[in-house]
Structure 1
């Protein structure tokens, strides 16, 4: 892959669903479909919105190891990124990704205590395309 950031970034930007994984109390992976990231900084940093009270937030607080996956079903391509997930509850982070309409999920607005930000930082990836997989560092 000549330009991993461009190729993978384009794949990610076209997806309407992201899959995030965390580790549960028994050490098993748990995967969940999410809305796509609100902000993406290259293929290293991703910001998601979620409920502070969610199971995923509790799991990331105990073990920050995480994985995110994006799949282009049309061309049967995908990318898995491994790294860590941080739970951010500071005003600046919450305001950074807040969008009109979020009150549907967080009725108290940007200061809703059940609203937080997940910031994923990738360290490694694996890209699948044309019946081949390729590992890469980020």
Structure 2
């Protein structure tokens, strides 16, 4: 991993919140704060836990274009990824990111029909730090 990749990776690792963007039925962007991804494959693939019945799930089913943003507010540093979001409801994906305590949100457990997984696959990124931005392919 190059120097930029290491900086971006470090930023993502310490953040507890990710901002996820979707497109509504009128073509307008929507941003939502979500818990940081539970599982990540480098800078390419991110897995989030969410509700099957959520507005965001419906939006991604209709239009998979998405973005994910991580930021360190104290250092005024951030990274934006653009790509696509899939809504996964298969048991293997659910089990991949299930954690103890998730029954607080999904009372029926890992098989709860209102529990699903968002899998974001990034295609490009833009890193901002020290008054400078750098675009990169993922």
What is the TM-score when the length of structure 1 is the normalising length? Answer: 0.97
Other structure's SS at 2:16 match: coil
- 1:121 counterpart residue number: 121
Gaps of 5+ in 2: none
CA shift for structure 1 position 7: 1.1
Residues matched between the structures, number: 137
- Aligned residue in 1 for 2:72: 72
Counterpart mapping for 1:1-138 below 5 A:
2-138=2-138
Structure 1 ranges of 4+ moved more than 3 A: none
Distance 1:123 1:130 in 2: 24
5+ residue gaps, structure 1: none
Separation in 2 of the partners of 1:39 and 1:4? 21
SS at match of 1:116: strand
Root mean square deviation, CA, Å = 0.7
- Counterpart CA distance in 2 for 1:18 and 1:8 is 13
Query: What is the CA–CA distance in structure 2 between the aligned matches of 1:60 and 1:49, rounded to whole Å?
Result: 14
Q: By how many angstroms is 1:3 displaced?
A: 2.3
CA deviations 1:32-75 (Å, max 9, x no partner) are: 00000001110110000000000000000000000000001111
3-12 or 123-132, which deviates more = 3-12
